Copies of this chain bind each other. A is one copy, B any other.
Amino acid sequence: MYNYPESLQSVIELLKKIPGIGFKSAQRIAFHLLKMPTQEVEKLGESISSLKTKLFFCSRCNNITDEEICPICNSSVREKEKLCIVEQPYNLYSIEKTGIYKGNYFVLLGSLSPLKGIGPDDLHLDKLDILIKENGVKEIIIATNPNVEGEATSMFLKNYLSKYPEVKITKLSVGLPIGSDIDYTDEITLLKAFEKRYEM
């Protein structure tokens, strides 16, 4: 069978390993790279090569960072008595973009998933305990994803954190997304929106 030249095939094969990128997308990306200015393509290649050597997980909260302690943990203006627990660094980033939250974070780097073999031992709970004590945390906001694994993780955390009776445990609300249409909302979200309805 006819194959692409080796260097092109190799880029396609490597891109295909990324979840959500199939052969067709990998091919499209590779051909687009061929059309891009040489300088930019080389810059992308170098940035990707250096990604793993330049970045670490924050030693306190597991956020992704290029220093030992991330800028959020290092900041003197954040409200240290608030701690928001997220699954991944990009969840943290999404919350930061809203600008509504000024406390600290803890990143679990995963969620409980028996299928993927992720159990409580993989959620870095020892680091979480240290952070709660050191920061004198008064409120923990659980911001796991509103899916099966996130919900399981959230229930697990609620139990785990019951050893801190003085700490208030809260959770992000669920309901109709703003700008959506009830007709197009899935049943479970609509059900939750009813369950969690509030007095106006």
In the assembled complex, the CB of A115 is this many whole angstroms from the nearest CB of chain B, namely 17
Chain A: residues with Cβ within 8 Å of the partner, total of 55
What is the count of identical protomers in the complex? Answer: 2
- Chain A interface helix/strand/loop/mixed: helix
Knowing A7-B66, A66-B5, A71-B2, say if A32 contacts B19 (CB, 8 Å).
Answer: yes
Knowing A18-B33, A64-B5, A93-B2, say if A48 contacts B41 (CB, 8 Å).
Answer: yes
Instruction: Type the 1/0 row for A1-22, where 1 means its CB is closer than 8 Å to any CB of B.
Output: 1101111101100110111110
Task: Using CB atoms and an 8 Å cutoff, list the residues of chain A in contact with chain B.
Answer: 1-2, 4-8, 10-11, 14-15, 17-21, 25, 27-34, 36, 38, 40-55, 64-66, 71-72, 88-90, 93, 96-97, 99
- Known: A1-B97, A19-B32; 15 extra A-B contacts, CB below 8 A, are A2-B71, A2-B72, A5-B66, A7-B66, A17-B36, A17-B40, A18-B33, A21-B29, A31-B88, A33-B52, A36-B52, A44-B48, A45-B47, A46-B49, A48-B48
